[in-house]
Amino acid sequence: MDVKIPDNELEVITVSDLLKRVLELKKSGFRFSQANAALIDGKLELSYSFSDYENYALHTLRIVADTGEEIPSITQIIPAAVFYENEMKELFGARIMLIDTDLNDRLYRIRQKTPFGKKETEAE
């Protein structure tokens, strides 16, 4: 079997570049793979991974945003991202604007609001 050496690229971009880069990646044949959030040192790190299933390359877009910062939704370009964005919004409290199907905290039926996000006490 021919060995595929995965290209694991990480590209840090600004919030305003997000939609442009996503569109470019989509046009060049990449498929949306996943999106995740992480709260590191009080800042939200959002990673959007795209993979090319022809050569199994992986390209990740990373944006670092303040917790209150508005982040545009990519669901208009990539419908698959809808639940990832809802998840980031519900669990981490990322302010993702204009999600295609915004479930309004109904994807995860949990009692606590944004359990992994910035705690209220920390914010004060």
54-83 residues in contact with another protein (CB under 8 A) are 56, 58, 60, 78-83
CB atoms within 10 A of CB 100: 14
- Dihedral sign of CA atoms 60, 73, 19, 43 in order: negative
19-38 residues in contact with another protein (CB under 8 A) are 31-34, 36, 38
**Which residues are near another protein by CB under 8 A?**
1, 3-6, 8, 10, 31-34, 36, 38-40, 45, 47, 49, 51, 53, 56, 58, 60, 78-83, 101, 103, 106-110, 115-116
